[in-house]
Amino acid sequence: MVSSRESFDKTLIQRESGWVTKLPISLVIITFNEEAHIERCIRSCPFVDDVVVVDSFSTDRTVEIATKMGARVFNEKWKGFGPQKAFATAQAKNPWILSLDADEALSPELAAEIIAKFSGLDPEAGFLVPRRSYYLGRWINHGGWYPDYQLRMFNKDKSQWNSAALHEKVEVKRQLKFQHDLHHWVFDDVADQVQTNNRYSSLGAQGLADKGRRFSYFNLLTKPATKFVETYFFKAGILDGLPGFLISVSAAYSVFLKWAKLWEIERVQKRS
């Protein structure tokens, strides 16, 4: 992580004059209490001429830092990932959107690739990037966490966000790929991971209910175990050491919570 950061800073210093001419790209970020990440995210995209941050009323220094970095900051009540990112995209000055999460940052190589290819980009395509996550002191290469392609660049005039509360995505005519990595600082610690599992499993359970899926003891018992085996063995999480084991256990636990919460939702519905 440090070497990538130092490499990027060195690149900026060596090519300072090269960054003066900005590209017509809007960087859009949605935030809530992201003071630990937001500066790194914005600094990794020095070639954009517009930075939009949509904040859900953070209680830390997120807005202060983003404003200091030159971002246009909008306060918007949280409505779900899809609607929030759609709102952020609507505030952008440019058709071309680079949509990042606050805990993500372009690698120097990916930044250079975007700059080199920008003039020839297909406006009807969405561009996927391989995302590499940093977790418990190491970059994760297995367990389904890499390459973990994410659609992060698109033309807003030729695309639209769906309305999903979780697993939001941009709907485009076709998808193309960039070669170099997007870096992702996925969790601050194990406690943060547990909190995230709790939050996302609630959204996942509601998603199952909305689709008409029904709770079953069979799914509650088998799906978490299946998820662990898939992540740790079939997707080689075992090769990432203890972090890989914790990722696999966490993935299984999240699935368990999702099905347990679906049972809870059905209980509430029966009582009402």
Examine the fold and report which residue of 185, 209, 234 is the final residue of a domain before the chain moves on: 185
Label residue 165 by pLDDT band (50, 70, 90): low
Predicted pLDDT at 152? 98
Checking if the pLDDT of 266 tops 80, the result is yes
For the chain, how many structural domains are there in total? 2
Please tell me whether residues 112 and 135 are part of one structural domain: yes
Residues 114 and 170 in one domain: yes
Domain boundary among 141, 167, 185: 185
160, part of any domain: yes
Among 185, 214, 239, where does a domain finish?
A: 185
Does a cis peptide bond (omega within 30 degrees of 0) precede residue 147? yes
Residue range 187-206: mean pLDDT, rounded: 95
Within 8 A by CB and 6+ apart from 16, the residues are none
Q: What pLDDT, on a 0 to 100 scale, did the predictor assign at position 163?
A: 76
Count of C-beta atoms within a 10 Å radius of residue 270: 7
Is 272 contained in some domain?
Answer: no
Query: 207: domain range?
Result: 190-267
Q: Return the CATH number at 39.
A: 3.90.550.10
In this structure, the answer to whether residues 146 and 209 fall within a common structural domain is no
Same domain, 138 and 209: no
pTM for the model stands at 0.87
Same domain, 46 and 167: yes
Please identify which residue in the block is written with the tokens 């689709």.
211
Q: Does 235 share its domain with 200?
A: yes
Closest C-alpha among 58, 4, 7, 10 to residue 35 = 58
In this prediction, residues 214-237 reach a mean pLDDT of 98
pLDDT for residue 162: 81
pLDDT of residue 12: 44
Same domain, residue pair 165 and 199:
no
Residue 235 resides in a domain: yes
